[in-house]
Amino acid sequence: MAAAAAPRTMTTWVLFSLCVSLTLAPFVYGNSEGDALYTLRRSLSDPDNVLQSWDPNLVNPCTWFHVTCNQDNRVTRVDLGNSNLSGHLVPDLGKLEHLQYLELYKNNIQGTIPFELGNLKSLISLDLYNNNISGTIPASLGKLKSLVFLRLNDNRLTGPVPRELVGISSLKVVDVSNNDLCGTIPTSGPFEHIPLNNFENNPRLEGPELLGLASYDTNCS
């Protein structure tokens, strides 16, 4: 009888392990995403303690202030606009694969835009305006095929407007005014309907692209 009971015991253990794995699956995601967000917290100066609830010892980040999750405990929104934050963005943000809204506008964030943000395939809105961000606009943002709002105005960005953005058919709003961009302004795809004042106050930006007549990155570095 003991020998016959062994397989049943093993089967019971396997089923129990499977149930535990399925039950904990959302929390594994939560830990991974929590780690990414906590890395962001450590890269930022937070004099007003708006990130005080971002505790890495919690099971997942869905209980943190300024973080929104879906029913599967996946992070869909980070809203830290106008929060008196300084510091820089981190590549780990690219791990938030269900993120739809990244709101970090009106702070004093410096450094560059990580090219890893191009991994945020669910992103609808990227709002980094009114900061102190430098460097170029990553061409990897062209992979964000769900993107509707791209607001990078009032920073210190340089280089061209990436032509990869032309392939985002969902894109409705692009604002890169008040930077130091160069080259020409795209005129195809979604850019056909973007007003020119969304590109103003870039002293080295040469105006709308003349398709077939001029290279868009003329004198642009």
115-159 confidence digits (pLDDT tens):
999 999 999 999 999 999 999 999 999 999 999 999 999 999 999
Q: DSSP 3-state assignment of 104?
A: coil
Which pLDDT belongs to residue 52? 95
- The domain containing residue 68 runs over which residues? 32-208
Residue 112 · residue 133 · CB < 8 Å: yes
Question: Domain for residue 56, yes or no?
Answer: yes
Beta strands in the chain (DSSP E): 44-45, 67-69, 75-79, 86-88, 101-103, 108-110, 125-127, 134-136, 149-151, 156-159, 173-175, 180-185, 204-208
Domain assignment of residue 10, yes or no: no
DSSP 40: H
50-82 pLDDT per residue, tens: 999 999 888 789 999 999 999 999 999 999 999
| Residue 26 pLDDT exceeds 70 | no
Quick one: CA torsion of 8, 10, 15, 20, rounded to 10 degrees? 140
Would residue 175 count as lying in a domain? yes
Q: Residue 106 — very low, low, confident or very high, per pLDDT cuts 50/70/90?
A: very high
* Cα 174 to Cα 193: distance, rounded to the nearest angstrom: 10
Residue 15 lies in a domain: no
Residue 131 maps to which CATH number? 3.80.10.10
pLDDT tier, 220 (very low <50, low <70, confident <90, very high otherwise):
confident
Q: Which two tokens mark 194? A: 């973007």
**Within-domain flag for 153:** yes
Q: Is residue 141 part of a domain?
A: yes
Q: Which residue has the tokens 């570095």?
A: 221
Is residue 18 domain-resident? no
Interatomic CA distance for residues 60 and 26, integer angstroms? 9
Predicted pLDDT at 8: 53
183, part of any domain: yes
Among 11-15, 132-136, 215-219, where is mean pLDDT lowest? 11-15
pLDDT at residue 15, rounded to an integer: 46
- How many domains are there within the chain? 1
What pLDDT score does 218 carry? 59
